[in-house]
Chain A
Amino acid sequence: MKPRRGVIPGALLVALLAAAAWLYTYMASCRQEAIQARQNLDECYQIVADLARYAKQPALAADQEEQTSRTGQLIDAAARQAGIQKVAVISPEPAQRVNDGPYKEKPISIRLGDNVTLVQASSMLSMLATGDRPLVPKSIRMTTSRDDTSSANWAMEAVVTYLVYDPLKPAQPGRQ
């Protein structure tokens, strides 16, 4: 009594072929995952390097709107350093998005009294523009009386601005 010859080796061959085919697809998917992981790691290294590079650069924009008290302190400090006794008005205005881009411009109106010199006003605005958190003068208006010949009786109104990085959020589906 004997089993049919060739059945067992044939079945073994077929099973091995099937196993090899399955293992090949499995190995290929593992390989693809490994390649993807390597690419992700390289990209990650690049991102970390870029982050380190940016960390060494000064911040040219805020990541959120500064508190009014902080900008007021900056303006007061610049005025005192320029020899200006007092700042009459500090008035923050609503931030406006610039060119539909990721930045907003935050304006702050400043008005000084009638007794500053051109040098004092320029010095104060220059200091604001070159500080750690720059407040850049966008517009300036300086006036003096037509009959006044003194160089120390100027009144100044200026608008200083700083940028806020606030990218637009992607629109959420289903919401109007």
Chain B
Amino acid sequence: MADGAYMLLPSGQSWRVARIAAGQCELHDVPDAGEGDVFGRLLQVLEELGHKGQSVCLALSSSYVFCARLNIASLPRKNRSAAMLYRLEEQLPLEAERLTADFLPMASGFALGFAVETAGLKEIVDKLLQNGIRVGAICPASLLAAFYVQSARGAEACNYILISDEGRLELCRIDHRTLSNWYCLDSSPEKLSQSLAADMLSNQLPGDHPTVLVVGGLSPDAESRLKEDLDAKVIKLEKAARPAELAAQGAAQVLAGKLSCVDFNRGALLPAGKWGPLAGHLKWARSLAIVLLVALSVSLGLRAWLYQGLTARHVGLQQGQYRRVFPTGPIPQDLNARMKSELARVSGISGGSEMPTQPNAINTLGRVIAAMPDGMKFKINEIRVSPQEIILEGQVLNHGDAGILAQAINRAGFFAEAPKTQQLPRNEVAFTLVARLSKESKTGGTP
């Protein structure tokens, strides 16, 4: 993992590179040796400092940045950012379309608007990116220092933060621990004292005497003027640090997401991203994926709704069919089970496949009588027809006639055993004939 955070500070024709690692800051100057060569050398210096491609913070001199106080109480909530930009435009010499802006909300319906001209910065950001330096934040250097100092000092309150760097003076007014104005001042002690007095006149301070926190060096003359003219309490940082170093510390925290500062890394100044030229396509792909997912979700919801409609229609038709069979009574949950039960009952009554065959004894009797031979005298005294057998008892003229009867019955499809015969006193022969029913005779009955 890459170690440290990096800040680039353009300053006139030269650049400064800051590396912040383990709380320590190193500043390196990169002079502009030739046309268009500075970005290559910036990369070279960064690599020498151990840069591994991580995002850097581009710290802007206050000469790049416009600042104005805006009344935003009456602005609509919808498209508020655009409305704030156009309200900021009213106070600036450039059109809104040429600006990249950020805003700091304040109490009582006011905001502090900050803007930079997009075109010049865009060119720098693009050239940095072309040289492999990805910009993660674009912040005013003075505000980085001021925000860092305020963050590091915790709850200790002050009314002003005065930043003095290389002969320039910048004044940040703090109300309720929030930045409420930002000036660039004349460096002469008189002007400083007058500017502070004018600000105090226009804004009521919570205490009797202003508290001024000084970042960077302040001349003894200027300090004494503040104390004498305004009865100000002047606080100096314990550790003397240059504003650029404090700005670098602030940049490290901004890049780490631990500190919130005015940041112009938005809109047209956003780098193309780590996917480089593909970023635009990826954005389109993401938008397309969102649209497709919405369409897919709608389509799935619609299909589910259609299926629900189909289910309701089928259930309705099924209930209609049920009512045809059972016109009254409640409709059960499982219609088909009830109807299957009814079908089984009706099928069983009408003769389903499981209906047993009933042997019809009258058919058997008819076949036996029809099989009796013509022209032969005999008398039947008893006929018994059961599902298993037929028993005939009677009388014939001789023993042989009983056998003829048995043969006749056999020809009709029965299995007649040899008849038992017995000679009777009156020249007659009694016989008992037992015949079993053939398989066809058993099953061929009437169901």
Residues of A whose CB lies within 8 Å of any CB of B are 1-2, 4-5, 9, 12-13, 16-17, 19-20, 23-24, 26-27, 30-31, 33-34, 37-38, 40-41, 43-45, 47-48, 50-51, 54-55, 57-63, 98-99, 101-103, 105, 118, 122, 125-126, 129-130, 134, 136-146, 149, 158, 161, 163, 165, 167
Question: Contact: B382 with A142, CB < 8 Å?
Answer: yes
| Minimum Cβ distance to chain B for residue A62 (Å) | 7
Number of B interface residues, CB 8 Å?
Answer: 72
Q: How far is the CA of A58 from the CA of B381 in the complex (A)?
A: 38
A-B contact count (CB 8 A): 200
Residues of B whose CB lies within 8 Å of any CB of A are 102-105, 257, 260, 262-263, 265-266, 270, 286, 289-290, 293-294, 296-297, 300-301, 303-304, 307-308, 310-311, 314-315, 317-318, 321-322, 324-325, 335-336, 339-340, 342-351, 354-356, 358-362, 365-366, 369, 379-387, 395, 445-447
A-B contact pairs, 16 of them (CB 8 A): A1-B105, A12-B290, A17-B293, A27-B307, A31-B304, A37-B311, A38-B314, A40-B314, A51-B346, A54-B349, A59-B349, A63-B349, A99-B356, A129-B362, A134-B446, A143-B381
Which chain A residue shows the least CB distance to B338?
A: A47
Neighbour of B318 across the interface among A17, A44, A50, CB < 8 A: A44
Question: Contact: B335 with A44, CB < 8 Å?
Answer: yes
| Minimum Cβ distance to chain A for residue B67 (Å) | 14
Q: How far is the CA of A47 from the CA of B345 in the complex (A)?
A: 12
| Minimum Cβ distance to chain B for residue A40 (Å) | 6
| Minimum Cβ distance to chain B for residue A24 (Å) | 6
Chain B residues contacting A51 (CB-CB under 8 Å) are: 325, 339, 342-343, 346
Q: How far is the CA of A142 from the CA of B369 in the complex (A)?
A: 13
Question: Contact: B361 with A30, CB < 8 Å?
Answer: no
Neighbour of B347 across the interface among A2, A37, A54, A163, CB < 8 A: A54
Neighbour of A2 across the interface among B263, B289, B342, B351, CB < 8 A: B263
Summarize B's interface: helix, strand, loop or mixed.
helix
Q: How far is the CA of A158 from the CA of B447 in the complex (A)?
A: 17
Q: How far is the CA of A22 from the CA of B270 in the complex (A)?
A: 36
Q: How far is the CA of A48 from the CA of B395 in the complex (A)?
A: 60
Question: Contact: A13 with B293, CB < 8 Å?
Answer: yes
Given A2-B263, A27-B307, A165-B345, check contact A138 B383 (CB 8 Å).
no
Q: How far is the CA of A75 from the CA of B167 in the complex (A)?
A: 135
Question: Contact: B354 with A101, CB < 8 Å?
Answer: yes
Q: How far is the CA of A1 from the CA of B49 in the complex (A)?
A: 29
Chain A residues contacting B263 (CB-CB under 8 Å) are: 1-2
Given A19-B297, A48-B324, check contact A136 B351 (CB 8 Å).
no
Q: How far is the CA of A4 from the CA of B256 in the complex (A)?
A: 12
